[in-house]
Amino acid sequence: MPQQTAVEWLMDRLPHSIETQFSKQIEQAKEMEKQQIMEAVYDSMGTNFDPNMGRAEDYYNETFNK
């Protein structure tokens, strides 16, 4: 079962009008959160973060079903 990110959790609890009004900022927050999660994966593996390497993004996609 896919997990929710903190941004997704918050969006589930706010009125839809907020999502519509702030859609650009929400997408930016989701992308920032994704980068932070991927960086944490690399940190836990003891390697430097490289957004071009697929393993962290694979983890993110599998965990959060993206």
Q: What does the buried/exposed string (b/e) look like for 7-46 if buried means 16 or more CB atoms within 10 Å of the residue's CB?
A: beeebeeeeeeeeeeeeeebeebbeebbeebbeebbeeee
- Residue that has been written with the tokens 């993110």 in this structure: 60
Domain span holding position 21: 6-64
Quick check: helix, strand or coil at residue 55? helix
Assigned domain for 20 exists: yes
The predicted pLDDT at position 50 comes to 62
pLDDT in tens, 18-46: 989 999 999 999 999 998 988 887 777 76
Asked whether residue 55 is assigned to any structural domain, the reply reads yes
The CA distances from residue 61 to 54, 57, 66, in Å, are 10, 6, 5
Do the domain assignments include residue 1? Answer: no
Number of domains in the chain: 1
Whether residue 49 is predicted with pLDDT greater than 60 in this model: the reply is no
**Is residue 43 in some structural domain?**
yes
Neighbours of 55 (CB within 10 A): 13
pTM: 0.71
